[in-house]
């Protein structure tokens, strides 16, 4: 499973990198981005899903 | 002044300044969600109020059909003279695409988590100093002696204005907050002392650049050019207007909640790790900010016959109580794990100061409950709520318990 942020949808609400700083970081404008290639392990999947469930812009996608 | 008639039916005659709405808007919104869900009013020259998350979300993201030319509802409508293009009174909040993105990109770096998180020690010290002034008092007005002073104190520090000017600064904030929706000719006169003071500060920062927001605004470049001084001043005004009574309201609402929900206060005191999720639930449940838009052209939208220049009251606080999106939406759940709240808006106008507001809210609560692990409301009936588009308690007497 991989996680990605759609940069067109992200508005810098800041929820993902607060909830899951091991998966997400922020750029100079405060928009979120995925650290590395976004591959999720069994351990990090739940955390990524929690971040996804807290994104007001529905900008986080978790895909096969 | 003519007396404004009380609202009988909010579905056909809503008014966000009606005493019933000001005192407790939540049952009104719940009722509208069930039977409208887009309410209409002829007041303020005509407007619409979507009470659902879906309605609020659709309009917030639709800059083709709605303009942010003004975001505060009044009786008149702004003219081109009020808001000279492309800067506007307060870019980027009053800007539409494509200028919006340019103005926004200028200020976002100053409000990104990096520089904002660095303010934590300053904010903590400010909160602690404010609490020192009421040390030993049995009754503490958490509104007028605490919450009210935190955002202006922080912004004064960020702008790099002298600490000894705080009283003067507070007076200017008051002038700006009061005057922002006055007609332009009145506003110019009222803002004169503010402009003089700010101009002197800007000059001082030009002569003695330092690491603060004023210097940042003076140095930041747009297409290789520094900003016009009017743009710098306009952005300072926006930061003051947008960052003060909003955050003050959020802090006040959180303290008000804890004052009459002792089980939540006890949990926060004993489980400090809860603070991150608790802050989001405070923001969802007591979202202070409602914005406005104007309809760009006649159209049928969300099943409503909207006319050009009709107002939209964009109720993010109402969206946050929509049971379609939030389980047990009308319950405050301090450890709510999934919380897609929209307290800071949605889409391109997401509150640029959200990282700062969150930080101030968290530290203000932490410092308050550290000082007062047990408290309740000294006089629940005397608590007053601000009318209009920013909702929060103003008079908030707290009784300190042993």
Tell me the per-residue pLDDT of B331-379, one tens digit each, with 9 for 90 and over: 999 999 999 999 999 999 999 999 999 999 999 999 999 999 999 999 9
Instruction: Give the mutation candidate from B319, B355, B358, B361 for the A interface (greatest A CB count, under 10 A).
Output: B355
Q: What is the mean pLDDT of residues B2-29?
A: 94
Q: If residue A3 lies in a helix (H) or strand (E), which one and from where to where? A: strand A2-5
Tell me the domain boundaries of chain B. 10-400
Reply yes or no on whether the pLDDT at B179 is more than 80: no
Instruction: Please report the pLDDT score of residue B99 as a whole number.
Output: 86
CA distance B19 to chain A (A): 31
Q: Search chain B and give the residue with CA nearest A25.
A: B113
C-beta separation of B344 from B357 below 8 A: yes
Residues of chain A contacting B355 with CB distance shorter than 8 Å: 14, 30
Longest dimension (CA), chain A: 31
Q: Report the C-alpha gap between B31 and B385 in whole angstroms.
A: 21
Q: What is the mean pLDDT of residues B94-123?
A: 93
Tens-digit pLDDT profile for residues B216-269? 999 998 888 998 888 888 888 888 888 899 999 999 999 999 999 999 999 999
Q: Report the C-alpha gap between B378 and B272 in whole angstroms.
A: 25
Kindly report the CATH number that applies to the domain delimited by A2-63: 3.30.70.20
Instruction: Give the mutation candidate from B112, B277, B320 for the A interface (greatest A CB count, under 10 A).
Output: B112
Q: Report the C-alpha gap between B113 and A14 in whole angstroms.
A: 8
Q: Report the C-alpha gap between A43 and B279 in whole angstroms.
A: 26
For residue B122, name the pLDDT band (cuts at 50, 70, 90): very high
Tell me the domain boundaries of chain A. 2-63
Query: Of A11, A27, A53, which has the smallest distance from its Cβ to B340's Cβ?
Result: A53
Torsion of CA B262, B267, B269, B273, to 10 degrees: -150
- Superfamily in which the B10-400 domain is placed by CATH: Cytochrome P450 (1.10.630.10)
A11:B339 CB<8 A: no
pTM of the model: 0.95
Contacts of B65 (CB under 8 A, 6+ apart): B59, B295, B296, B297, B299, B301
Reply yes or no on whether the pLDDT at B132 is more than 60: yes
* Backbone phi, psi, residue A32, to 5°: -80, 150
Classify the phi-psi angles of B335: left when phi > 0, otherwise alpha if psi is within -120 to 50, otherwise beta. alpha
Closest by CA position to B160, among listed B203, B122, B215: B215
Closest by CA position to A60, among listed A2, A3, A17: A3
C-beta separation of B353 from B206 below 8 A: no
Angle at B164 between CA B160 and CA B170, to 5 degrees: 80
Residue B331 token pair: 């319950």
Reply yes or no on whether the pLDDT at B202 is more than 50: yes
Q: Report the C-alpha gap between B137 and B121 in whole angstroms.
A: 25
Q: Report the C-alpha gap between B187 and B175 in whole angstroms.
A: 9
Q: Report the C-alpha gap between B111 and B109 in whole angstroms.
A: 5
Instruction: Please report the pLDDT score of residue B83 as a whole number.
Output: 56
Residues of chain A contacting B342 with CB distance shorter than 8 Å: 56
Q: Please report the DSSP string for B70-122 in residue order.
A: --S--SS---TTTS-TTT-SSTTTT--TTHHHHHHHHHHHHHSHHHHHTTHHH
- The secondary structure of chain B in percent helix, strand, coil, rounded to multiples of 5, reads 50, 10, 40
Angle at B348 between CA B31 and CA B159, to 5 degrees: 105
Q: Search chain B and give the residue with CA nearest A9.
A: B347
The answer to whether ipTM exceeds 0.95 is yes
Contacts of B320 (CB under 8 A, 6+ apart): B53, B284, B285, B287, B326, B329, B341, B342, B343
């Amino acid at each position: 499973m991989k996680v990605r942020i759609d940069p067109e949808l992200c508005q810098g609400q800041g929820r993902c990198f607060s909830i899951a700083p091991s998966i997400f970081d922020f750029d100079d404008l405060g928009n979120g981005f995925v650290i590395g290639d976004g591959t999720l392990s069994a351990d990090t999947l739940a955390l990524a899903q929690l971040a996804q469930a807290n994104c007001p812009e529905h900008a986080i996608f978790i895909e096969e | 002044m003519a007396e404004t008639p009380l609202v009988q039916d909010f579905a056909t005659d809503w008014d966000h300044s009606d005493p019933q709405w000001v005192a407790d808007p939540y049952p009104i919104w719940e009722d509208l969600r069930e039977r409208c869900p887009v309410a209409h009013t002829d007041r303020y020259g005509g407007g619409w109020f979507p009470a659902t998350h879906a309605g609020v979300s659709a309009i917030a993201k639709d800059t083709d059909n709605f303009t942010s030319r003004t975001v505060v509802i009044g009786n008149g409508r702004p003219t081109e003279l009020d808001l000279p293009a492309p800067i506007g009174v307060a870019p980027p909040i009053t800007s539409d695409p494509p200028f919006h993105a340019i103005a926004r990109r200028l200020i976002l770096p100053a409000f990104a988590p990096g520089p904002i998180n660095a303010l934590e020690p300053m904010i903590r010290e400010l909160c602690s100093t404010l609490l020192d002034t009421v040390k030993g008092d049995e009754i503490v007005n958490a509104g007028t002696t605490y919450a009210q002073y935190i955002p202006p104190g922080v912004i004064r520090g960020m702008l790099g204005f002298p600490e000894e000017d705080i009283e003067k600064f507070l007076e200017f904030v008051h002038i700006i907050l009061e005057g922002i929706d006055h007609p332009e000719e009145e506003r110019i006169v009222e803002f004169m002392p503010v402009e003089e003071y700010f101009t002197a500060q800007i000059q001082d920062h030009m002569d003695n650049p330092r690491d603060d927001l004023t210097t940042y605004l003076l140095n930041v470049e747009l297409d290789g050019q520094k900003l016009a001084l009017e743009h710098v001043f306009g952005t300072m005004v926006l930061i003051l207007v947008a960052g003060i009574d909003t955050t003050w309201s959020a802090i006040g609402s959180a303290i008000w909640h804890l004052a009459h929900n002792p089980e939540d206060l006890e949990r926060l005191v004993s489980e400090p790790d809860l603070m991150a999720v608790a802050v989001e639930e405070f923001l969802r449940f007591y979202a202070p900010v409602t914005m406005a838009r104007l309809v760009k052209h006649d159209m049928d939208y969300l099943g409503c016959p909207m006319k050009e220049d009709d107002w939209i009251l964009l109720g993010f606080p109402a969206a946050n109580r929509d049971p379609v999106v939030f389980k047990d939406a009308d319950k405050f759940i301090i450890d709510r794990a999934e919380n897609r709240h929209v307290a800071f808006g949605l889409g391109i106008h997401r509150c640029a100061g959200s990282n700062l507001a969150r930080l101030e809210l968290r530290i203000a609560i932490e410092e308050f409950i550290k000082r007062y692990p047990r408290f309740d409301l000294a006089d629940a009936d005397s608590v007053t709520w601000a009318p209009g588009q920013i909702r929060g308690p103003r008079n908030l007497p707290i009784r300190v318990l042993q």
